[in-house]
Structure 1
Amino acid sequence: MHEETRPIAVPAAWLLAPALLLAILVIAQPFAVNVIGVMVLGAAHVLCALRYLAGRVSLAAGAQLGRQLAIFVMVMALVRAVTTLDAGLGHHLELLGSMAVIGFACWLGLHGRLRYLAVGLVAAATALSLIELPWYWHLLAHGHNLVPLIFLWDWARRRDRSLESNQPQPRSADGWGGAGREQPGSLISAGDAARVFLTWFVNNLSRLGRTSKLVCLPARSSAPRRLRADTAQAHPRTSLGPGLKFALVNLIWALGIPVLILAGVADRFINEVSPDFVTRLADPAYVLASTAQPHSSPEMAVRFLVVFTYLQTMHYVVWMVFFQVVGRREIGDLGQRLPVVQGWRFWALALAVSVLVWLVYASNYYLGRQVYGILGAFNVYLEQPVAVWLLLTMLPSHWTTDLVGRLGRS
């Protein structure tokens, strides 16, 4: 059965089942999974993520923006190389570069005053991050592992739309129906509800300086029309569409399990002792410090190690398995212009890069982590702008640019 026609429970199970197994494994051996996992899978996951990300954005972005993104990620990889020589300088440069690309993405994705508002918020976040730099790196390290949630939601929403476009729409007694038309009995979707509310909020916000009265959501307008429908005549599609259900299931493994671990529910089962073969590779104190919050207690440091290792491994599963299966269309689009990303050529390249990184790890674990960090910049800093544009697709179309519109429709 084709991926787009399977029940949404199938891809949800693909992710939830390994998440539960990985949570048990990581709780039992957090040091081993952390150290060995990044050594074995890290380099290959970067290439897998890059080919899906590039394929997802390539048709919407165009050649010129594609070149700009390529230059940017290469600059950020160079910044990480600087970090290996001067950690303080490199961390400051990477923070500024990361915020610059987020601001750049907002500028390209929004219209008018919203551009300035978004860039202002990014500037404020940059200033705060410079003040609290250790906290910024802590949040970036853990937050990066959650970025695939945005792409999972994007995939599920596009899958829903593809299925709807392939289904005949019945015509009702009042003349509604047909492709692209709203059924009067169907309930409003989460995305439509967000657009209606945001439009209403901004319209009222603009009135605050002129009047003390706020307008209500219009009783008879095209946007919230489905909210007024008689549920007795509801369209078979429910308000919690399959895509939204899929996103909610992902929150179980992405947020629910980490929250329970950080709350101490699994403390009695966590193995806090690093195996001897791992200790010979890396200092356990270094492994703990790389994931712990600033000024963390030993207890919380271990919990954050478990959470980070679990989410990092799920991060690998999502990019290396899930999107390589369901993202064949995006990969195929990119492969028409770049054949090396398809078939055996890609996997041969991934193996070759992995072997080179493994050789560096074999000589020195810490040097291997530095090389992996430089390689990982390509993944991290391509994710950021694409994720911003995908999130902007939730806004009303007249607030966003054609770039966001093309990405939302593709």
Structure 2
Amino acid sequence: MKVTLPFLFAAAAALAAALGAPLATTVLGLIAFGVLHNVLELRYVTGRFAPVLNGRFLAVLFALISAIVLCRIAAMFVGQPARDAEILVGYAVLAAGCAHALRGWLLGAAGTVLAVAAAVSLSWPGYHFVVLAHLHNVVPLFFLWEWAAALPPVTRRWFRSIQVGWVLVLPLAVLLGAFDVSGVSASTVAAFAGDPAKIMALSAPPASSAVVGARFLVVFAFLQTMHYFVWVWFLPRHAPAAARAFEARVPWLRGSRAWALGAGLGGFLAVLFFIDYASGRALYSAFASYHAYLEFPVLLAMLLGAGAARSQLVFRETATGGQQTAAVSTLTGEI
């Protein structure tokens, strides 16, 4: 109950906020929790999956994602060419993950799939970035699924079912019109963000109707809010071993320092958001590339079995989150 009930309450509150004020929920949520969740997510991922994210592989990912940061900054000035470059480098990140996880014909097959997908993305870049925005909010499902492996069987089944419910079932219900979403107008608390159509365009497929665009915005606002709940509240509370593993690698960010860093940078960026929301969001988006793109190689390592050939040290939490053990295991079969 300690790990399931919070998600039920959080999902109900997030859905109510997203349905009632999707634009304000999106904008104000980003300002309040955007930077902080970046820091805490990086802490969790690099701590819990330290056996995967290390050495040359981590250096390659850092270089590629830094190139994406430069692409996003350049997009503020040159537009689409920089966005096309980001697409190519983004697929290079996925290719690096496949190269780390696969060998032989499987690697060749994965390369072919990535090449075809990259061609599709370059042909329809507007759809690519909308899919990327929503996919980023769906990613917690995989990390929570993996985390739940150590829970007792009954609790694990309930926990995973609830995750599937809020990540997939509720958004699908919104998109199918189960809730009355007829349109979105600029609300007072988010009016400083400018034209709501530009914000909706970040979450809705190009040329969507007003109703479809509103539904996608509600889904984005809901999933973004739950995304923050996972990284800012749930995992810091229930996965302390990951934080300790990170602190062993980055000792100058021990204890509350990571929170202070996230809050401090978030406060600084919040000022820019209120002065010029478009510029603030562009700057945030650039540096958020590190946490957003780092997720995908880790997911590939889990899904494709990077640990199949060798043992990995994976931290496991108990159901209470208060104690933990370190077990030698593999990443294969855990998700």
One fold, TM greater than 0.5? yes
The gaps in structure 2 that reach 5 residues or longer are 313-328
CA distance in 1, matches of 2:97, 2:205: 29
Give the conservation status (yes or no) of the 8 Å contact 1:331–1:341.
Answer: no
Call closer, same or farther: CA 1:259–1:278 in 2, change over 3 Å.
same
Q: Percent identity?
A: 29
Counterpart in the other structure of 2:233: 321
Q: Which amino acid aligns with 2:93?
A: V
CA distance in 1, matches of 2:116, 2:68: 21
Give the conservation status (yes or no) of the 8 Å contact 2:38–2:291.
Answer: yes
What are the residue-to-residue correspondences of 1:359-374 with 2, within 5 Å?
359-374=271-286
CA distance in 1, matches of 2:120, 2:296: 19
> For this pair of structures, how many residues does the alignment match?
318
Call closer, same or farther: CA 1:264–1:70 in 2, change over 3 Å.
same
Counterpart in the other structure of 1:223: none
CA distance in 1, matches of 2:25, 2:231: 18
CA distance in 2, matches of 1:392, 1:350: 32
More deviation, 273-282/134-143: 273-282
Report the alpha carbon displacement of residue 84 of structure 1 after superposing the two structures with TM. 1.5
User: Which structure would you say has the larger Rg?
Assistant: 1
Counterpart in the other structure of 1:171: none
Task: Find the partner of 2:195 among 279, 283, 286.
Answer: 283
CA distance in 1, matches of 2:238, 2:133: 26
Q: Which amino acid aligns with 1:10?
A: K
Give the conservation status (yes or no) of the 8 Å contact 1:291–1:305.
Answer: yes
What are the residue-to-residue correspondences of 1:183-262 with 2, within 5 Å?
242-262=155-175
Report the alpha carbon displacement of residue 364 of structure 1 after superposing the two structures with TM. 0.5
Task: Find the partner of 1:79 among 59, 71, 80.
Answer: 71
Task: Find the partner of 1:51 among 43, 47, 66.
Answer: 43
Counterpart in the other structure of 2:119: 127
Report the alpha carbon displacement of residue 309 of structure 1 after superposing the two structures with TM. 0.8
Counterpart in the other structure of 1:213: none
Give the conservation status (yes or no) of the 8 Å contact 2:183–2:211.
Answer: no
More deviation, 364-373/247-256: 247-256
Task: Find the partner of 1:116 among 99, 108, 118.
Answer: 108
Counterpart in the other structure of 2:180: 267
Counterpart in the other structure of 1:88: 80
Q: Which amino acid aligns with 1:47?
A: V
Counterpart in the other structure of 1:215: none
Normalising by structure 2, report the TM-score. 0.88
Give the conservation status (yes or no) of the 8 Å contact 2:192–2:277.
Answer: no
CA distance in 1, matches of 2:68, 2:167: 27
Give the conservation status (yes or no) of the 8 Å contact 2:64–2:92.
Answer: no
Give the conservation status (yes or no) of the 8 Å contact 1:108–1:403.
Answer: no
Call closer, same or farther: CA 1:271–1:340 in 2, change over 3 Å.
farther
CA distance in 2, matches of 1:126, 1:401: 29
CA distance in 2, matches of 1:409, 1:59: 16
Are residue 311 (structure 1) and residue 219 (structure 2) matched? no
SS where residue 185 of structure 2 aligns? Answer: coil
Call closer, same or farther: CA 1:276–1:245 in 2, change over 3 Å.
closer
Call closer, same or farther: CA 1:403–1:312 in 2, change over 3 Å.
farther
SS where residue 145 of structure 1 aligns? Answer: helix
CA distance in 1, matches of 2:236, 2:71: 29
SS where residue 44 of structure 2 aligns? Answer: helix
Q: Which amino acid aligns with 2:128?
A: Y
SS where residue 51 of structure 2 aligns? Answer: helix
Q: Which amino acid aligns with 2:78?
A: D
Report the alpha carbon displacement of residue 401 of structure 1 after superposing the two structures with TM. 4.2
Counterpart in the other structure of 1:381: 293
Counterpart in the other structure of 1:231: none
Counterpart in the other structure of 1:402: 310
Give the conservation status (yes or no) of the 8 Å contact 1:390–1:407.
Answer: yes
CA distance in 2, matches of 1:121, 1:249: 32
Deviations 1:92-131 (A, max 9, x none): 1111111111121112101221111111111111111112
Q: Which amino acid aligns with 2:273?
A: Y
CA distance in 2, matches of 1:42, 1:291: 16
Give the conservation status (yes or no) of the 8 Å contact 2:27–2:190.
Answer: yes
CA distance in 2, matches of 1:362, 1:278: 10
CA distance in 2, matches of 1:64, 1:143: 27
Counterpart in the other structure of 2:316: none
CA distance in 2, matches of 1:103, 1:70: 14
Counterpart in the other structure of 2:91: 99
The gaps in structure 1 that reach 5 residues or longer are 1-8, 164-236
Call closer, same or farther: CA 1:271–1:12 in 2, change over 3 Å.
farther
CA RMSD of aligned residues (A): 2.2
Runs of 4+ in 1 over 6 A off after TM superposition: none
Deviations 1:53-94 (A, max 9, x none): 111221344333222222232222122111112220121111
Give the conservation status (yes or no) of the 8 Å contact 1:29–1:271.
Answer: no
Call closer, same or farther: CA 1:126–1:271 in 2, change over 3 Å.
closer
Give the conservation status (yes or no) of the 8 Å contact 1:340–1:346.
Answer: no
Counterpart in the other structure of 1:20: 12
Report the alpha carbon displacement of residue 389 of structure 1 after superposing the two structures with TM. 0.8
Counterpart in the other structure of 1:232: none
Report the alpha carbon displacement of residue 37 of structure 1 after superposing the two structures with TM. 1.0
Report the alpha carbon displacement of residue 377 of structure 1 after superposing the two structures with TM. 0.3
CA distance in 2, matches of 1:152, 1:277: 32
Q: Which amino acid aligns with 2:173?
A: L
Normalising by structure 1, report the TM-score. 0.73
Give the conservation status (yes or no) of the 8 Å contact 1:60–1:403.
Answer: no
Give the conservation status (yes or no) of the 8 Å contact 2:44–2:242.
Answer: yes
Q: Which amino acid aligns with 2:50?
A: S
